[in-house]
């Protein structure tokens, strides 16, 4: 494709060189440059793409998009106000605007995004649709599965995936849309058919600084949606968003349990096996079942069923799709242990996420609840004592340990979480090494106890200061139990 065609819709500050040059590919990472590529120089938090222009030249880059006054002899150089803002448009143009050929359903919120995408996927598959999925755990294109590196890919990678999906005749793409991706413009140029809001609680304040900024980032999705917006109005921020976006031309569907909404759940029955409830819509009522226990599962099922309802999916299909949906990896996942106690792995890494899983466990726990948790390094520090408080108030015993400490000292993070647990009176211990902490939690478990390992969920690694190490809690549990034999 000619560079001139790729630049359609871009606000250009200046352009030098041959704009009719053929571009073989586009990259923002100089390590991936191949001959004939367009190199987009993005200014990031840790790196500045402009610093790698010489590397790009040596590897054969044919043209550059920059946001600084730079001259490169013999190359096309296009200056824009923001390379990051231009990239999604450039990418969409280069890949032929693939999202216009797909039906995109975007899910945003603090908690529940991953599970909701999996539930929608299950419903759509029962409806004989070819589905693509993009999210925290993986990217799935038909029967192909890629491990995800972030919740929502960078715009260039995202449009490349959309192109592959369109080429494989995917019907619907169900994707998690993170607040970072909305704030940084990664999803600009995406043709969203449906937007779903699950909830909003404290998280990512290291990036957004305030809850209001965080909400405003999430809200951007609903101004991008062309079909239907779906919002949980039991959530206070959901009510604020719904009040604002109801003025848009895009239809709005609200859902909830406690507040009167367009779609509601009634007659809720929660057991250790799952949840049953009556799905109440403006047109009909039907009984739904999902194999993940907890009130939060009702909300996730409501979100998924509401999205399917908005798409005109029959109630019989919604019912079958939810009942067939398996447990999502690392979300209230019961580990097979052959022990008299139960071990659960959950991704809960926010105060609300931890509260939700513990509230669910308390509904069916016969013995003690032993909660092992940590907090991520280089992330919102304010939530650490709050998580300690939640764990202490809702558990019988706690083990505070490391999560992904990143560049921080693990013991410093642990001490900050410990502040919150001290006021609860809950017995606890601090064990920095997470493997040792898991060993201790399992060793103290008695019949009918529930050991909750919170924070890692689907992750099979641990991010330390100087390296990332393999860390699959399922494998570690198996190893530790073999050692006891």
DSSP string over 160-189:
HHHHHHHHTT--EEEEE--HHHHHTTTTTT
Per-residue burial over 427-448, b if 16 or more Cβ lie within 10 Å, else e, is ebebbbebbebbbbbbeebeee
Burial group, residue 217, by CB count within 10 angstroms (0-12, 13-18, 19+): buried
Residue 72 in tokens: 């490169």
Question: What count of Cα atoms within 13 Å lies in the side-chain half-sphere of residue 404?
Answer: 21
**What pLDDT does residue 202 have?**
62
Across-strand partners of 240? none
Using an 8 Å Cβ cutoff, are 308 and 299 in contact? no
Question: Which range has the worst mean pLDDT, 74-83, 140-149, 281-290, 447-456?
Answer: 140-149
Question: Which pTM does this prediction carry?
Answer: 0.89
Residue 153 has pLDDT above 90, yes or no: no
**What pLDDT does residue 337 have?**
94
**What pLDDT does residue 79 have?**
98
Query: pLDDT class for 239, splitting at 50, 70, 90?
Result: very high
Q: 152, 150, 136, 174: which is closest to 304 by C-alpha?
A: 174
Residue 475 in tokens: 């494998």
Residue 475 has pLDDT above 90, yes or no: yes
Residue 20 has pLDDT above 60, yes or no: yes
**What pLDDT does residue 78 have?**
98
Segment 298-310 mean pLDDT: 98
Q: What is the largest CA-CA distance in the chain?
A: 74
Residue 2 in tokens: 């000619």
- Tell which CATH classification among 3.40.1390.10, 1.20.1740.10, 1.20.59.10, 3.20.20.60 matches the domain 3-94: 3.40.1390.10
Does 460 or 326 have the greater pLDDT score?
Answer: 460
Q: At what angle are helices 351-362 and 295-310 packed, to 10 degrees?
A: 110
Report the share of the chain in percent with pLDDT over 70.
98
Dihedral sign computed on CA atoms, order 219, 223, 225, 229: positive
> How distant, in Å, are the alpha carbons of 100, 136, 263, 309, 330 from that of 285?
34, 32, 10, 12, 31
Segment 366-383 mean pLDDT: 95
Q: At what angle are helices 113-126 and 315-324 packed, to 10 degrees?
A: 120
Query: CA 291 to CA 477: how far, in whole Å?
Result: 23
Query: Domain 333-484: which topology?
Result: 3.90.190
**What pLDDT does residue 147 have?**
85
Query: CA 269 to CA 134: how far, in whole Å?
Result: 31
* Mean pLDDT across the chain: 94
Query: CA 116 to CA 110: how far, in whole Å?
Result: 12
From-to residues of CATH 3.90.190.20 in the chain: 333-484
Using an 8 Å Cβ cutoff, are 163 and 95 in contact? yes
* Chain segment 162-199, per-residue pLDDT in tens: 999 999 999 999 999 998 899 988 999 899 999 999 99
Residue 205 has pLDDT above 80, yes or no: no
* Helices within 168-326 (DSSP H only): 179-183, 205-208, 211-219, 236-245, 295-310, 315-324
Instruction: Report CA 64 to chain centroid distance, whole Å.
Output: 32
Query: pLDDT class for 447, splitting at 50, 70, 90?
Result: very high
Query: CA 430 to CA 433: how far, in whole Å?
Result: 9
* Helices within 312-454 (DSSP H only): 315-324, 351-362, 383-394, 410-422, 434-444
Query: pLDDT class for 335, splitting at 50, 70, 90?
Result: very high
Bridge pairing between strands 192-197 and 172-176: unpaired
Going by CATH, does the domain composed of 98-324 fall within 3.30.70.360?
Answer: no
* Chain segment 95-115, per-residue pLDDT in tens: 999 999 999 999 999 999 999
Residue 484 has pLDDT above 80, yes or no: no
Residue 278 in tokens: 């009556």
From-to residues of CATH 3.40.1390.10 in the chain: 3-94
Query: pLDDT class for 370, splitting at 50, 70, 90?
Result: very high
**What pLDDT does residue 146 have?**
87
**What pLDDT does residue 148 have?**
83
From-to residues of CATH 3.40.1190.10 in the chain: 98-324
Query: CA 387 to CA 355: how far, in whole Å?
Result: 8
* Chain segment 26-83, per-residue pLDDT in tens: 999 999 999 999 999 999 877 899 999 999 999 999 999 999 999 899 999 999 999 9
Radius of gyration over alpha carbons of the chain, in Å?
A: 24
**What pLDDT does residue 204 have?**
67
Using an 8 Å Cβ cutoff, are 347 and 335 in contact? no
Residue 59 in tokens: 């590897």
Residue 485 has pLDDT above 60, yes or no: no
**What pLDDT does residue 208 have?**
64
Query: CA 465 to CA 173: how far, in whole Å?
Result: 36
Using an 8 Å Cβ cutoff, are 380 and 454 in contact? no
**What pLDDT does residue 382 have?**
92
Q: 474, 329, 335, 473: which is closest to 404 by C-alpha?
A: 473
CB atoms inside a 10 Å sphere around CB 183: 17
- Indicate the DSSP class of residue 407: T
**What pLDDT does residue 150 have?**
78
Question: Which range has the worst mean pLDDT, 18-27, 194-203, 389-398?
Answer: 194-203
Segment 211-232 mean pLDDT: 95
User: Is 116 in a helix, a strand, or coil?
Assistant: helix
Segment 420-441 mean pLDDT: 97
């Amino acid at each position: 494709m000619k560079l001139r065609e790729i630049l359609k819709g871009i606000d250009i500050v200046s352009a030098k060189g041959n704009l009719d040059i053929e571009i073989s590919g586009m990259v923002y990472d100089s390590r991936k440059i191949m001959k004939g590529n367009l190199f987009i120089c993005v200014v990031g938090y840790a790196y500045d793409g402009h610093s790698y222009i010489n590397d790009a030249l040596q590897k054969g880059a044919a043209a550059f998009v920059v946001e600084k006054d730079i001259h490169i002899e013999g190359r096309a150089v296009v200056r824009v106000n923001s390379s990051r803002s231009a990239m999604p448009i450039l990418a969409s143009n280069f890949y032929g605007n693939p999202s216009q050929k797909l039906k995109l359903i975007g899910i945003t919120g603090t908690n529940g995004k991953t599970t909701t995408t999996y539930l929608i996927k299950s419903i759509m598959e029962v409806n004989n649709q070819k589905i693509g999925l993009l999210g925290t755990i993986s990217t799935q294109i038909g029967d192909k599965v890629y491990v995800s590196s972030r919740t929502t890919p960078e715009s260039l990678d995202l449009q490349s995936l959309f192109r592959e999906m369109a080429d494989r005749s995917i019907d619907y793409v169900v994707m998690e849309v993170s607040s970072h991706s909305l704030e940084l413009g990664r999803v600009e140029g995406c043709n969203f058919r449906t937007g779903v809001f699950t909830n909003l609680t404290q998280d990512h304040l290291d990036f957004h600084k305030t809850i209001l900024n965080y909400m405003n980032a999430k809200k951007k999705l609903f101004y991008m949606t062309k079909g239907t917006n779906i919002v949980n109005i039991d959530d206070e921020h959901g009510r604020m968003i719904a009040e604002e976006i109801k003025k848009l031309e895009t239809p709005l569907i609200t859902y909830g349990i406690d507040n009167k909404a367009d779609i509601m759940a009634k007659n809720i029955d929660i057991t250790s096996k799952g949840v049953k409830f009556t799905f109440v819509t403006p047109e009909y009522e039907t009984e739904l079942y999902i194999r993940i226990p907890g009130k939060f599962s009702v909300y996730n099922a409501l979100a998924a069923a509401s999205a399917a309802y908005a798409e005109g999916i029959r109630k019989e299909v919604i019912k079958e799709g939810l009942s067939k949906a398996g447990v999502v990896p690392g979300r209230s996942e019961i580990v097979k242990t052959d022990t008299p106690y139960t071990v659960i792995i959950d991704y809960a890494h926010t105060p609300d996420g931890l509260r939700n899983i513990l509230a669910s466990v308390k509904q069916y726990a016969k013995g003690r609840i032993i909660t092992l948790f940590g907090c991520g390094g280089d992330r919102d520090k304010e939530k650490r004592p709050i998580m300690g408080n939640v764990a202490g108030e809702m558990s019988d015993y706690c083990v505070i340990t490391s999560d992904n400490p990143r560049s921080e000292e693990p013991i410093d993070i642990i001490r900050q979480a410990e502040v919150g647990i001290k006021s609860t009176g809950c017995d606890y211990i601090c064990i920095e090494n997470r493997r040792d902490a898991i060993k201790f939690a399992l060793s103290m478990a008695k019949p009918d106890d529930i050991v909750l390992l919170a924070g890692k969920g689907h992750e099979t690694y641990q991010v330390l200061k100087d390296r990332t190490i393999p860390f699959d809690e399922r494998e570690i549990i198996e190893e530790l139990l073999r050692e006891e034999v």
